[in-house]
Structure 1
């Protein structure tokens, strides 16, 4: 279990950050506007921590989570198929927030990029929100996988 004293400074910086702006020194994972610009989703990598924020545009997040990278479940792209995709999941009690993105490799012109978040409680989907087109900041490969690998090596 991670000490709250290790997470608190990261969480404090994250809460104070303006909407759609990862904390200073952080790397964006998947971020976008939702609901025709009235809400935002922001996930970032800050050292050995991944952060998640959701809220109304221009306001502090309604929900902000900071988790050690080892506690964030990730499904990396398996290397096959029409789309390049990855997803990762933050848990908050018995509710999970699965953030995803997908790049259609065979679309005409620019590759089609989609993303969003699924909120789940057990097997029940509580909400599924798709990012507004043209607002998505994401791309393959997400640095979360490498951060998880480094954290695992550091523990050995």
Structure 2
């Protein structure tokens, strides 16, 4: 373990070695039967464990020896914590929540690039904000962070805050950097529906991806209308007419391609819906880039 201390408002970093992944039973026992798991991981080679759980609007934090009683426990109402989700320009989805204990803040975070790298594993840690302005960071042991998808863990708090509950896709897109592909948010509606019990991917994957495709369809219509309105201010009539033809041709091509190809060979209808959503997400990025180029060119 290497410890580096810096001046106030900088970090005291504990570098943790890579250790084996968690056992499923450990995660299953992290929270009570009626509670939802926000975050689980081990640190220091499995020596200590973090359990972060949600029951209604109450968050429970427990941290301490893996095989002993917690050395610190906190129970906080959601209204008394800081919840701060974000999506970085490289496609990293980060969910974090901070609980307070006197003058100390305990920030738990999980992040993943699964949207742009399907084989990426979730990472996470705890950042302790000290009263003197310094911070101490504990990084979770590699492969021990659960849930794998940050949306399924700390991301559940979005429903309590109201952020993303009515428009989960718009909520995600609003947090993207200017160079981040819209496809980074692919699956957001599906994740929300699964978490809310509105669909079951094990019994009917079509319903889950169908709702995802529908929200992207609605989004592309809105984004295209907005793009036309913006571009009419700087572009010629021929340019606008060509773009309208191109949009129609793209829609036909997307629909035909997704009839013959789907990324889910075991559920054809679900695969087609997923294909439609992916195509549309890429088209949203195309329109964003087109507007940016037109503004620069203008």
TM-score after normalising by structure 1: 0.75
Unaligned runs of 5+ in 1: 1-17, 151-156
CA deviations over 1:93-141 (Å, ceiling 9, x no partner): 000000001102444x51231101011124211x211111111113232
Query: Per residue, is there more helix in 1 or in 2?
Result: 2
Q: Kindly report structure 1 stretches of 4+ aligned residues shifted beyond 6 Å.
A: none
Q: Is the 8 A contact 2:121 2:143 kept in 1?
A: no
Q: What secondary structure is seen at the aligned counterpart in 2 of 1:145?
A: helix
Partner of 1:32: 41
* Partner residue, 1:124: 134
Larger Rg: 2
Who is 2:77 aligned against? 68
Q: Which has the higher strand share?
A: 1
Q: CA deviation at 1:148?
A: 3.0
Among 147, 150, 153, which residue is 1:140 paired with?
A: 150
SS of the aligned residue for 1:110 comes to coil
- What's the secondary structure of 1:146's corresponding residue? helix
Q: How many residues align?
A: 131
DSSP-derived class of the 1:112 partner: coil
1:51 aligns with 2:60: yes
Greater RCO structure (CA 8 Å; 6+ sep): 1
Q: Is the 8 A contact 2:35 2:55 kept in 1?
A: yes
How many Å separate the matches in 1 of 2:58 and 2:83? 14
**1:99 counterpart = 2:108:** yes
Q: CA RMSD in A?
A: 2.2
